[in-house]
Amino acid sequence: MGRAVKFGDRQPGTSITFLDAGSAESLLQIASDADGIHLVAYRLYDSGGSLVAEREDLEHYPDGISVRSSGGELLLAVPKNADENIRYRLYGHDGELLTSSDGVRTMIYQRLHTEGGGRNWVAHSKK
């Protein structure tokens, strides 16, 4: 188990990227720019491996963002308040669950890889 993620924990100029270790595909990047503005980029698949939503460029969501699968499963919830935990369920393009967080408890599975630091987004090649 891991620690829940929130923007309030991010130092300016840092990021964390969640990658599918099998494909090196970036699924979620959470960053704070040099001015402390919080940014998110994502590629979200559902449990069947279908692409649900993607934003390849880091974007600021001052009102938060919520992304659900067509079946209603919560895939990403970024709260408006930086001190609240981010919730997510990250699946690979084959539908395998790689990590999930309900905002309190984070589960990390074998194929997940994380990278911290500067901008390290790796777009997956389109098939």
pLDDT in tens, 78-96: 998 878 889 999 999 999 9
Inter-CA distances, 5 with 8, 55, 93, Å: 9, 19, 23
What percent of the chain shows pLDDT beyond 70? Answer: 83
- The predicted model gives 51-79 an average pLDDT of 96
pTM score above 0.85: no
Q: Tokens in use for 110?
A: 């074998």
Domain count, the chain: 1
Pair 115, 122: CB distance under 8 Å:
no
- The answer to whether residue 60 is domain-embedded is yes
Confidence at residue 118, expressed as pLDDT on a 0 to 100 scale? 54
- The answer to whether residue 27 is domain-embedded is yes
* pLDDT, greater one: 76 or 82: 76
What CA–CA distance (Å, rounded) separates 32 from 70?
A: 30
Inter-CA distances, 70 with 17, 48, 63, 74, Å: 25, 11, 22, 10
- The answer to whether residue 56 is domain-embedded is yes
- The answer to whether residue 124 is domain-embedded is no
- The answer to whether residue 62 is domain-embedded is yes
- The answer to whether residue 121 is domain-embedded is no
Confidence at residue 67, expressed as pLDDT on a 0 to 100 scale? 98
pLDDT in tens, 22-55: 999 999 999 888 888 889 999 999 999 999 999 9
Domain that holds residue 13: 5-116
- The answer to whether residue 96 is domain-embedded is yes
Q: How many residues does the chain have?
A: 127
- The answer to whether residue 47 is domain-embedded is yes
